[in-house]
Amino acid sequence: MSSMTHSGAQPQVATAPNTDRGGEPVLEVTNLRKYFPVKSSGVVRRTIGQVQAVDGISFQVPKGGSLGLVGESGCGKSTTGRLITRLWDPTSGSMKFEGREIGNLSNRQMLPLRKEIQMIFQDPYSSLNPRHTVGSIVGTPLRVHQVVPDRQRLDRVKELLEVVGLNPEHYNRYPNEFSGGQRQRIGIARALALQPKLLVADEPVSALDVSIQAQVVNLLQDLQREFDIAFLFIAHDLAVVRHFCPDVAVMYLGKIVEITDRETLYLRPHHPYTQALLSAVPDVKQAAIGGRRERIRLEGDVPSPVNPPSGCRFRTRCWMAQDICAKQEPPLLQIGPRHKVACHFAGEHGAMPTSPITLDALGVDQNGDHVSGETKSAEDLNAPGFADTWTDLESHKKSSERLVGDHIADRPQ
Partner 1 sequence: MGIGPTETVADHAADTPATAQEIAGRSPTKIALDRLRSDKIAMICLGIVVLFVLIAIFAPLLTRLFGVELRGGVPIEDTKADSFPIIGPPDYGFTWEAPFGLAPTTGDDNLAEWFYGARTSLFVATVATLVSTVIGIIVGLLAGFSRGWLDRVITFFIDVFLSLPFILVALALSPIIVSRFGADAASLERWSMFSLLFVLSALTWMTLARLIRGEVLSLREREFVQAARVIGVPTRSILFRELLPNIIAPIVVSISLGLPTFVTAEAGLAYLGIGVAGIPSWGQTVNRAVDYFSTYPVYLYAPVIGITVLVIALNLLGDAVRDAFDPKTRR
Which positions lie near ligand SF4, rule CB under 6 A?
A: 272, 312, 314-315, 318, 320-321, 325, 330, 343-345
**Subset of residues 131 to 150 that bind partner 1, contact rule: CB under 8 A:** 131-134, 140-141, 144-145
Residue nearest to Mg ion (CB): 78
Binder of residue 73, out of ligand SF4, ligand ATP, partner 1, none (CB less than 5 to 8 A by kind) = ligand ATP
| Segment lying near partner 1 (by CB under 8 A), choices 214-222, 239-247, 263-271, 384-392 | 214-222
User: In angstroms, what CA-CA distances link 321 with 31, 191, 273, 317?
Assistant: 25, 43, 12, 8
Query: Which CB atom, from 78 or from 334, has the smaller least distance to Mg ion?
Result: 78
Report the alpha-carbon distance of residue 256 to residue 68 in Å, rounded: 12
Query: Which CB atom, from 168 or from 303, has the smaller least distance to partner 1?
Result: 168
- Kindly state whether residue 366 participates in binding Mg ion, applying the rule CB under 5 A: no
Selected from 12, 16, 19, 74, the binder of ligand ATP by CB under 6 A is: 74
Q: Where are the beta strands (DSSP E) in 175-291?
A: 198-202, 230-235, 247-252, 255-261
Q: Are 194 and 161 in contact (CB under 8 A)?
A: no
Strands 230-235, 198-202: pairing kind: parallel
Query: Which CB atom, from 76 or from 368, has the smaller least distance to Mg ion?
Result: 76
Report the alpha-carbon distance of residue 51 to residue 142 in Å, rounded: 37
Q: Are 134 and 174 in contact (CB under 8 A)?
A: yes
Helix axis angle for 210-227 and 180-192, nearest 10°, is 20
Helix (H, G, I), strand (E, B) or coil at 73: coil
Query: Residue 121 Cβ, how far from partner 1 at the closest point, in Å?
Result: 4
Query: Which CB atom, from 98 or from 379, has the smaller least distance to partner 1?
Result: 98
What count of other Cβ atoms lies within 10 Å of the Cβ of residue 110? 13
Residue nearest to ligand ATP (CB): 78
- Kindly state whether residue 236 participates in binding ligand ATP, applying the rule CB under 6 A: yes
Question: How many residues sit in the footprint of ligand ATP (CB under 6 A)?
Answer: 13
From edge to edge, which strands make up the β-sheet containing 247-252?
Answer: 117-120, 198-202, 230-235, 66-70, 247-252, 255-261, 339-341, 333-336
Selected from 75, 128, 219, 256, the binder of ligand ATP by CB under 6 A is: 75
For residue 22, give the nearest of 384, 274, 393 by alpha carbon.
384
Which chain residues interact with partner 1 by CB under 8 A?
82, 85, 87, 110-111, 114, 117-119, 121-123, 126-134, 140-141, 144-145, 159-160, 162-163, 165-167, 169-170, 172-174, 176-179, 181-182, 187, 190, 192, 194-195, 211-212, 215, 218-219, 222-223, 226-227
Residues engaged in binding ligand ATP (CB under 6 A): 36, 51, 53, 71, 73-79, 236, 305
